[in-house]
Amino acid sequence: MPIADGDAGERRWELSTHLDGMTDREHVDAVLEHVAVLAFFYYPGIQVDDPTYRLDEDFEWCTARLGEVSDAERDGMRALIARAIIDPTATREELFASLLQLDGVLAAGHDE
């Protein structure tokens, strides 16, 4: 799940090391899986019930799986991921299409 404050640097390093060997399709799948898990647990008022909950940490947990994308692409995905966590039914198709449009994602031969 999201990275705890105390070991954030170490965990991010482990995550980036793991992600280096992933294909574009695996990056897309990882983002979709993480968004789905977060959407399953999200509910309106979660911040009231859990004052330590931060949607920004959820964004980071998902966008870290994008791999090597530009800052602009990552920032654009953050807003979309937020909407997908909060209202997955309304946003899932747009999220999937946007992930496929990232440069290099699912290039020819990767979509089998």
Which regions of the chain are under pLDDT 50? 1-18, 106-112
Do the beta carbons of residue 100 and residue 28 sit within 8 Å?
Answer: yes
Structural domain count of the chain: 1
> Does a structural domain hold residue 32?
yes
108 in a structural domain: no
Rounded-to-5 percentages of helix, strand, coil across the chain: 70, 0, 30
The verdict on residue 19 lying in a domain is yes
- Residue partners of 92: CB distance under 8 A and separation at least 6: 84
At residue 89, the pLDDT reads: 92
Q: Which amino acid is at 52?
A: T
pLDDT of residue 111: 45
**pTM as predicted:** 0.70
In a domain, 17, yes or no: yes
pLDDT for res 20: 55
Amino acid at 100: L
Q: Residue 92 belongs to what domain range?
A: 5-101
pLDDT of residue 2: 43
Query: What letter does residue 2 receive in the DSSP assignment?
Result: P
Q: Tell whether 106 is covered by a domain.
A: no
What span, in angstroms and rounded, lies between the C-alpha atoms of 85 and 92?
9
What local confidence, expressed as pLDDT, does residue 28 receive?
86
- Specify if 47 maps to a domain: yes
In a domain, 110, yes or no: no
pLDDT attached to residue 69: 80
